[in-house]
Amino acid sequence: MSNNTAHILDHKHISPTPMRQLVLDTLLNKKSALSINDIEKMLYPADRITIYRTLKTFEQKGLIHQVEDGSGSLKYALCQDSCDDNAHHDVHVHFSCKACKETFCLPKNQIPKISLPQGYQPEEISLTVKGVCKDCQITMQ
């Protein structure tokens, strides 16, 4: 386990099991959001249930957030440091590339405040922009 991984797990009060270390390293080394299937393939022959439990622990502790990009497969990405086990403050735009099928967090692009009618209580806000990422645009030329 790298010092960075150890620091991150410690900072989020997550005990460093071997699977947690592997899953975190996988997420840290990938620039796009990953589905459980993606992680399972990368960590084969790891147990799917253990990966799922690890992702749920990471999500509960504010280490990762879910990304629904319209692909039908829930993906996971690392949160910003401000997220914790009390709340996710990571409300930003995601970009889903139609060419490579990868989904990227765009944390500098915050979702604008939305005014809802009286009596409506938002629980989640999600904004995914679909198009072609910069790497795919280069290969298409």
Binding residues, as ranges, are 88, 97, 100, 133, 136
Separation of alpha carbons 140 and 133, rounded Å: 11
Alpha helices by DSSP H, the chain: 3-11, 18-28, 36-42, 48-60, 134-140
Facing residues of 131 across strands? 97
Binding positions for Zn(2+): 97, 100, 133, 136
In angstroms, rounded to a whole number, what is the distance separating the alpha carbons of residues 86 and 88? Answer: 7
65 DSSP β-pair partners = 77
Radius of gyration of the chain from its Cα atoms, rounded to whole angstroms:
16
